[in-house]
């Protein structure tokens, strides 16, 4: 009886759909918002997302600091800086920059010729940054820096390998922000898939097509980072805040495994907007007791590899508890 009860509980958790949907219910119904993407795969799925999110009503570039006040202000008025460990504070909501900081594009605007289009002011990838960190990372691509020339204790800047491009200039975010920046890149190459981003350093990361848009070395690395640093409440809250300002969302935050359906290990499967976890048919859960498995919890987080003991298992990761059925 206890086993049956636990089984029903696990299935009910799955049926409830994305945790992000429950968290953002007051903001938007995700199933309705993303309905056009339902049942799509790979390039078709990416294009469907582009059609959903690709026309944001962005703020004027000069008004972005008033946007940052809503998207990047911590409880004590500190500015959340993902590029350095410096502490600076908002003095109020205005269009004036916080001293020592500026507006940083997640993907350098020089990659598309600095055209002042929607991407130029899109808050989903524009964030407050320490001025020196912004300058140090320049217009480099994002990757693993193997030869560090500059670091501030948060980001690293230097040389690294970019697939067939060989050794190039790169910057690398801190481990606790790698998943965030990976999902920013996924957003940019989806929302602006028609934008040519191969100018200057962009040629080391991007392709001229709309799919996959990112070069293989890049999307493979960013998928890895997205798995290892999953979506958290900071990202969800920021996604909601940006949505209120410019009317579009980052789907890679709302559906943490979405990138897998576009570039990763789920490209053979149709995307299902009713849930953010991998469909039951795709849960890699070998029947043999003692075999390794790879599954996702009901909020879309990839759970660590472990031994399959069968039954309903409870996995604890980063303070969360997930019940799941293992057949």
Higher-pLDDT residue of 116 and 6 is 116
State how far the alpha carbon of 46 is from the alpha carbons of 85, 147, 180, in Å.
35, 34, 19
Tally of structural domains, the chain: 2
Q: Are residues 252 and 303 in the same domain?
A: no
For residue 221, being part of any structural domain is answered with: yes
How far is Cα 195 from Cα 112, in angstroms, rounded to an integer?
A: 7
Q: Are residues 175 and 282 in the same domain?
A: no
**Spacing of C-alpha 22 from chain mean position:** 19
Under a CB-based contact definition with an 8 Å cutoff, are residues 275 and 288 in contact?
no
How far is Cα 134 from Cα 105, in angstroms, rounded to an integer?
A: 9
Q: What share of the chain is helix, strand, coil (3-state, %, to 5)?
A: 40, 15, 45
CB atoms inside a 10 Å sphere around CB 274: 14
What single string gives the DSSP state of each residue in 162-207?
Answer: -GGG-EEEEEE--GGGHHHHHHHHHHHHHHTTTS---SGGGGGTB-
pLDDT at residue 113 is higher than 80: yes
Q: Are residues 24 and 114 in the same domain?
A: yes
pLDDT at residue 58 is higher than 60: yes
For residue 210, being part of any structural domain is answered with: yes
For residue 271, being part of any structural domain is answered with: no
pLDDT in tens, 60-100: 999 999 999 999 999 999 999 999 999 999 999 999 999 99
Percent over 70 (pLDDT), the chain? 76
In our burial notation (b when 16+ CB lie closer than 10 A, e otherwise), range 202-224 reads bbbbbbeebbbbbbebbbebbbe
pLDDT at residue 36 is higher than 80: yes
Give CA torsion, residues 241, 246, 252, 253, to 10 deg.
Answer: 10
Under a CB-based contact definition with an 8 Å cutoff, are residues 246 and 122 in contact?
yes
For residue 318, being part of any structural domain is answered with: yes
What is the DSSP secondary structure assignment for residue 105, as one 8-state letter?
E
pLDDT at residue 53 is higher than 80: yes
Mean pLDDT throughout 116-130?
97
Q: Are residues 47 and 130 in the same domain?
A: yes
Mean pLDDT throughout 12-18?
39
pLDDT in tens, 188-236: 999 999 999 999 999 999 999 999 999 999 999 999 999 999 999 999 9
Q: Are residues 31 and 140 in the same domain?
A: yes
For residue 272, being part of any structural domain is answered with: no
Q: Are residues 195 and 223 in the same domain?
A: yes
**Spacing of C-alpha 36 from chain mean position:** 20
Q: Are residues 134 and 181 in the same domain?
A: yes
Higher-pLDDT residue of 97 and 297 is 97
Percent over 90 (pLDDT), the chain? 75
Under a CB-based contact definition with an 8 Å cutoff, are residues 293 and 320 in contact?
no
For residue 151, being part of any structural domain is answered with: yes
Q: Are residues 231 and 316 in the same domain?
A: no
At 303, is the pLDDT very low, low, confident or very high (cuts 50, 70, 90)?
Answer: low
What single string gives the DSSP state of each residue in 213-247?
Answer: -B-HHHHHHHHHHHHHS---HHHHHHHHHHHHHHS
Model-level pTM? Answer: 0.81
Q: Are residues 234 and 306 in the same domain?
A: no
Q: Are residues 76 and 116 in the same domain?
A: yes
Which one of 235, 262, 289 terminates a domain? Answer: 262
How far is Cα 259 from Cα 256, in angstroms, rounded to an integer?
A: 7
Q: Are residues 299 and 315 in the same domain?
A: yes
The whole domain housing 310 covers 2-14+277-326
pLDDT at residue 294 is higher than 60: no
For residue 267, being part of any structural domain is answered with: no
Mean pLDDT of all residues in the chain? 83
How far is Cα 36 from Cα 166, in angstroms, rounded to an integer?
A: 39
Quote the pLDDT of residue 296.
Answer: 52
Q: Are residues 78 and 209 in the same domain?
A: yes
At 261, is the pLDDT very low, low, confident or very high (cuts 50, 70, 90)?
Answer: very high
Least confident of 109-118, 146-155, 159-168, 297-306: 297-306
How far is Cα 306 from Cα 258, in angstroms, rounded to an integer?
A: 23
């Amino acid at each position: 009886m206890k086993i049956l009860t636990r089984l029903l509980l696990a299935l009910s958790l799955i049926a409830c759909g994305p945790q992000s949907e429950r968290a953002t219910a007051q903001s938007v119904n995700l199933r309705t918002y993303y309905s056009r993407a339902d049942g799509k795969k790979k390039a078709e799925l990416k294009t469907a997302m582009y059609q959903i999110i690709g026309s944001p009503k962005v703020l004027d570039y000069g008004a972005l600091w008033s946007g940052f006040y809503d998207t990047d202000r911590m409880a004590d008025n500190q500015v959340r800086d993902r590029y350095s460990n410096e502490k600076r504070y908002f003095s109020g909501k205005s269009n004036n920059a916080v001293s020592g900081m500026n507006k940083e594009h997640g993907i350098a605007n020089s990659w598309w010729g600095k055209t002042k289009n929607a991407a130029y002011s899109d808050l989903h990838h524009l964030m407050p940054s320490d001025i020196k960190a912004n300058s140090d990372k320049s217009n480099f691509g994002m990757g693993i820096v193997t030869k560090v020339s500059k670091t501030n204790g948060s980001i690293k800047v230097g040389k690294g390998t970019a697939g067939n491009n060989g050794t190039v200039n790169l910057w690398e975010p801190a481990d606790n922000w790698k998943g965030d920046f990976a999902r920013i890149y996924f957003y940019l190459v989806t929302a602006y898939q028609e934008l040519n981003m191969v100018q200057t350093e962009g040629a080391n990361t991007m392709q001229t097509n709309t799919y996959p848009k990112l070069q293989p070395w890049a999307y493979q690395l960013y998928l890895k980072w997205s798995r290892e640093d999953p979506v958290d409440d900071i990202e969800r809250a920021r996604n909601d805040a940006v949505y209120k300002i410019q009317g579009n969302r980052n789907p890679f935050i709302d559906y943490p495994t979405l990138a897998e359906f576009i570039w990763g290990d789920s490209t053979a499967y149709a995307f299902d907007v009713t849930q953010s976890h991998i469909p039951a048919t795709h849960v890699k859960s070998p029947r043999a007791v003692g075999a390794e498995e790879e599954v996702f919890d009901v909020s879309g987080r990839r759970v660590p590899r472990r031994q399959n003991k069968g039954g309903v298992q409870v996995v604890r990761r980063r303070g969360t508890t997930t019940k799941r059925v293992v057949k």
